C-alpha cells in the first residue's frame, strides 16, 4: 500500500516539476510535497499507523522519495537560474562588429550664438570689442552717464547695491566711459556683457540679462551715420529686406534719442502674432551721445561728437528664434537647447 502511494506521489511530483517555468512555481511545488503540510511530510507523520515491523523500511522509502524530490527540485532551480542568466547575457550582448559611437558634441548656447553673431557683424563694420567690470561704482554706472543722484531715470533701474557706492552694473554703458577715459578719439567699439537689475522673473524679464552697447566718437559724426550703421546691422541680422523705424525717445546719456524698431521679418510688416499685429518689432535704443557724457570722459564735446546704441541680447534671440519665454534660456533644459 505505501509502495503504491510512494510511486504515485513521485510520478506526480516529477510531472509538476517538469512543468515549472518560474521560481514562484517551484516554491509552490516544494511546499506541496516537502513543506510542513506537504504530501511527503504527511506520509512521514503517518508512520505511526504502520506496523512496527514494517516501519523502518517504510520510513527509509519515504526519506528516499523526499531526497529524490528535493534533488529534482534543486535541478529545476539550477535550470531556471541558468535560463535567467542566459536571457540577461543575451540582453546585454554587445555586437563588437558595430561601429563605435563617439560622445555627443557640445553645442553653443543660443544666447552665445546670438552674441557671437552680433559681435561678428559689428567687427565687420570696423568696431572693436571693449569690456569692463560687472561690479561697478555709482559714478560710472550713473553719474558719468548724466544721471546724478536725483535724476528720475534712476527709478527705472532698480539696482543690486553691494554698498552705498558699489553695485552690479545695470547696463554696459559704464564700459563706454571707461573706454573713452583710457584713450583718445576717435572711438568705435561695442560693449557686450552681462547686466543685472532687480526684476521679477517673468516670461519677458530676468534679473540677469545680456546687453551689447555700441559707441562711435569722431569729428563731424551725425545722426545719419547712426542710421546707416544700425540699418547695416539690422539687415545682416534679420535680412536684406528689413526696414527700420525711428521714433523719438529719451535716454539721459543721448540727445536726441530714438527707439528703433524693424519691420517684422515673419509677416514682412503685414501684422502677425510675433509683432502683435503692428508689423514692427522694437529691438534697441540709440541716440547722439550727450555732450556732458563726452566731457565727463575727458574730451571736448565741441570737437568730438558721436552716437551710442544698446540692445538686449535676449530680446534679439527671442525674435530671431521665435521664442515667447525668456526663462527657457536659463533653465538648461536639453530638450529646448537641442532644438536650437
63-107: pLDDT as tens digits: 887 888 888 888 889 998 999 999 898 888 888 888 888 887 778
Strands (E) located in 96-160: 128-129, 135-137
25-35 burial, b at 16+ Cβ within 10 Å, e below that, comes to ebeebbeebbe
Q: Return the percentage of the chain with pLDDT > 90, whole number.
A: 47
Cβ atoms of 230 and 284 closer than 8 Å = yes
Residues 58, 49: Cα–Cα separation, whole Å:
11
* Alpha helices, DSSP H, located in 92-240: 110-124, 138-141, 173-181, 223-238
**Per-residue pLDDT tens for 176-223?**
999 999 999 999 999 999 999 988 888 888 999 999 999 999 999 999
**Grid coordinates in use for 62?**
519515504
**Grid coordinates in use for 274?**
510675433
Closest CA to 312 of 107, 108, 114: 114
pTM of the model: 0.68
Among 153-157, 180-184, 241-245, the minimum mean pLDDT is found in 153-157
Among 105-114, 178-187, 242-251, 299-308, the minimum mean pLDDT is found in 105-114
Mean pLDDT of 39-49: 77
Residues 219, 7: Cα–Cα separation, whole Å:
117
Cβ atoms of 121 and 130 closer than 8 Å = no
pLDDT at 46 over 80: no
User: Burial of 6 by CB count in 10 Å (0-12 exposed, 13-18 middle, 19+ buried)?
Assistant: middle
Residues 34, 42: Cα–Cα separation, whole Å:
9
Residues 285, 68: Cα–Cα separation, whole Å:
93
Average pLDDT of every residue of the chain: 88
Closest CA to 213 of 186, 174, 166, 256: 174
Amino acid at each position: 500500500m505505501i509502495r503504491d502511494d510512494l510511486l504515485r506521489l513521485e510520478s506526480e511530483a516529477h510531472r509538476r516539476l517538469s512543468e515549472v517555468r518560474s521560481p514562484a512555481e517551484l516554491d509552490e511545488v516544494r511546499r506541496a510535497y516537502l513543506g510542513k503540510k506537504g504530501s511527503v511530510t504527511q506520509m512521514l507523520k503517518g508512520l505511526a499507523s504502520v506496523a512496527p515491523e514494517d516501519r523502518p523500511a517504510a520510513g527509509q522509502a519515504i526519506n528516499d522519495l523526499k531526497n529524490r524530490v528535493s534533488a529534482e527540485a534543486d535541478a529545476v532551480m539550477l535550470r531556471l537560474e541558468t535560463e535567467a542568466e542566459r536571457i540577461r547575457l543575451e540582453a546585454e550582448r554587445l555586437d563588437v562588429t558595430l561601429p563605435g559611437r563617439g560622445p555627443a558634441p557640445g553645442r553653443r548656447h543660443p544666447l552665445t550664438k546670438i552674441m557671437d553673431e552680433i559681435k561678428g557683424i559689428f567687427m565687420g563694420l570696423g568696431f572693436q570689442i571693449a569690456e569692463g567690470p560687472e561690479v561697478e561704482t555709482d559714478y560710472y554706472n550713473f553719474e558719468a552717464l548724466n544721471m546724478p543722484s536725483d535724476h528720475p531715470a534712476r527709478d527705472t533701474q532698480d539696482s543690486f547695491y553691494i554698498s552705498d557706492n558699489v553695485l552690479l552694473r545695470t547696463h554696459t554703458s559704464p564700459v563706454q566711459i571707461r573706454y573713452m577715459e583710457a584713450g583718445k578719439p576717435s572711438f568705435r567699439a561695442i560693449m557686450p556683457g552681462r547686466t543685472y537689475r532687480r526684476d521679477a522673473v517673468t516670461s519677458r524679464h530676468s534679473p540677469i540679462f545680456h546687453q551689447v552697447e555700441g559707441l562711435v566718437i569722431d569729428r563731424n559724426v551725425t545722426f545719419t551715420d547712426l542710421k546707416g550703421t544700425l540699418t547695416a546691422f539690422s539687415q545682416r541680422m534679420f535680412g536684406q529686406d528689413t526696414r527700420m523705424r525711428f521714433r523719438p525717445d529719451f535716454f539721459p546719456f543721448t540727445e536726441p534719442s530714438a527707439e528703433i524698431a524693424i519691420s517684422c521679418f515673419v509677416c514682412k510688416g503685414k501684422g502677425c502674432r510675433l509683432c502683435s499685429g503692428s508689423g514692427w518689432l522694437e529691438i534697441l535704443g540709440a541716440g547722439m551721445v550727450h555732450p556732458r557724457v563726452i566731457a565727463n570722459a575727458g574730451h571736448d564735446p565741441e570737437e568730438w561728437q558721436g552716437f551710442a546704441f544698446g540692445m538686449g541680447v535676449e530680446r534679439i534671440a527671442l525674435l530671431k528664434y521665435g521664442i515667447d519665454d525668456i526663462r527657457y534660456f536659463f533653465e538648461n533644459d536639453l530638450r529646448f537647447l537641442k532644438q536650437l
